[in-house]
Amino acid sequence: MTDLPVYTRSQLALRNGQDKPQIWIAHEGKIYDVTHSRLWLNGKHYEHWAGQDLTEELAGAPHTADVFGRFNVIGILK
Chain segment 60-70, per-residue pLDDT in tens: 677 777 888 89
Q: What is the pTM of this model?
A: 0.88
CA 48-53-56 angle, to 5 degrees, is: 75
Residue 1 domain flag: no
Please give the full DSSP string across the chain, using - where no structure is assigned: -TT--EE-HHHHHT-BSSSSS-BEEEETTEEEE-TT-GGGGGGEETTEESSSB-TTGGGGSSS-GGGGGGSEEEEEE-
| pLDDT over threshold 90, residue 50 | yes
Residue 58 domain flag: yes
**What confidence score (pLDDT) does residue 1 get?**
52
| pLDDT over threshold 70, residue 10 | yes
| pLDDT over threshold 80, residue 8 | yes
Residue 60 domain flag: yes
* Domain range for 55: 6-77
| Domain at 63, CATH number | 3.10.120.10
Q: Cα–Cα distance between 34 and 24 in angstroms, integer?
A: 6
Residue 26 domain flag: yes
In the chain, the number of structural domains is 1
